[in-house]
Amino acid sequence: TGDDNGNGEAADNGNGGNGGGGAGNFPETPAWNFVFVNHVTTNPFFVPTQYGIEDASAMLGTEFQWSGSETSEISEMVDAFDTALAGGADGIAVSLVDLEAFNGPIERALSEGVPVLSYNADAQNQRLAYVGQDLYGSGYAMGQRIVELVGDGKVGLFIATPGQLNIQPRIDGALDAIRDSGADIDAQDIASGAELPDEVNAVESWYLGNQDATGMFAVDAGSTQAVGQIVEQQNARDNNLRGAGGYDLLEETVRLVSDGVLDFTIDQQPYLQGFLPVLYLYLYKLSGGVATPPETNTGLVFLDQDSAQLFLETESRFEGDSEEQKIVEPVN
């Protein structure tokens, strides 16, 4: 599987077009190198993002690099950004998990004529555009959904790594929404651990100590799966539990949603968060900066039992559960 997330070698065989010698009827372009700086490089959430990058790169004949920090350490990301710049990257997409830290580097990049986009997480600065979903906003929306589902009582909110910037804003948003609603909900934020086994242990152990809980929700992929598994195992719905849910489309999570164990999982089109930035950067380069990339909200989709069916019965690069390239037939 040489083409899964390599440095854009897919460009060699992805040359589909014929028009101007480049992709489609574009003129022949250099093999521009677009660097993605990420805050959790090994997180499965971003597997479809990387497929999106790969596909767009193959389509356009560009190269890419996936780098950054494994543990959302900002200095490591800044170093990766600076390295990309020093290494002559032609465009950079960065998940702006810090409000200030990237201002200097981004200014420097822009002044050198290197376009910079943000994806997945944003900060208000010079970057040309943002592709993704608002982390805090999505958390806030989840909080509102929690209030709707649960009404009142004790709710556990699980977070894998407290402080980690791709998830902490979500839990902050959810807590704020719950508080703002004025509902009589006792929301506890619980650290569940960086790995799936730990997350399962932590969720189960918390539930055992809090069987009066009316809701259990999580803000990261692993904890969401863990919540689903424990709700199922403990038959929590026969107890007091009225709501459960979380984020992202891990195989097991989707099954749990479709079985009705989880009420929802939030999808934010990670594939597009990779695909679109490549496209935007390419067009920007091609147009000499005339085709300014637009702000793009990749949406906030609450996947529920019905819509989960679709995801369950298909496996695709768009969800990240298959690397196979194929046309996905709609179920209905």
Between vectors from CA 131 to CA 126 and to CA 137, what angle results, nearest 5°?
95
Separation of alpha carbons 190 and 223, rounded Å? 10
Pick 252 or 304: Cβ nearer another protein: 252
Give 175 or 296: the residue with its C-beta nearer to another protein: 175
Helices marked H in 163-220: 168-181, 196-209
Q: What's the CA gap between 8 and 16, in Å, rounded?
A: 15
Closest CA to 216 of 97, 311, 75, 229: 229
Q: In whole angstroms, give the CA distance from residue 163 to residue 4.
A: 30
Which residue, 109 or 296, is less far from another protein as judged by CB?
Answer: 109
Alpha carbon distance 275, 120 (integer Å):
12
Q: How far is the CB of 21 from another protein (least distance, A)?
A: 24
3 state SS of 186: strand
Q: Is the dihedral of CA 68, 315, 1, 28 positive or negative?
A: negative
Closest separation in Å from C-beta 195 to another protein: 5
CB of 19 to another protein, least distance (A): 28
Least distance from C-beta 38 to another protein, angstroms?
8
Q: Closest separation between CB of residue 198 and another protein, Å?
A: 8
Q: How many CB atoms lie within 10 A of CB 29?
A: 17
- Residue 164 or 258: which CB sits closer to another protein? 164
Task: Output the CA angle 263-266-268, nearest 5 degrees.
Answer: 160
Minimum Å gap between C-beta 197 and another protein is 5
> Which CB atom, from 107 or from 148, has the smaller least distance to another protein?
107
Residue 84 or 296: which CB sits closer to another protein?
A: 84
Identify the bridge partners of residue 66 per DSSP, sorted by sequence position.
36
Measured from the CB of residue 184, what is the shortest distance to another protein in angstroms? 17
Integer distance in angstroms from the first to the last C-alpha of the chain?
Answer: 32
Q: Which is nearer to another protein, 17 or 255 (CB)?
A: 255
**Helix H or strand E segment including 107:** helix 103-111
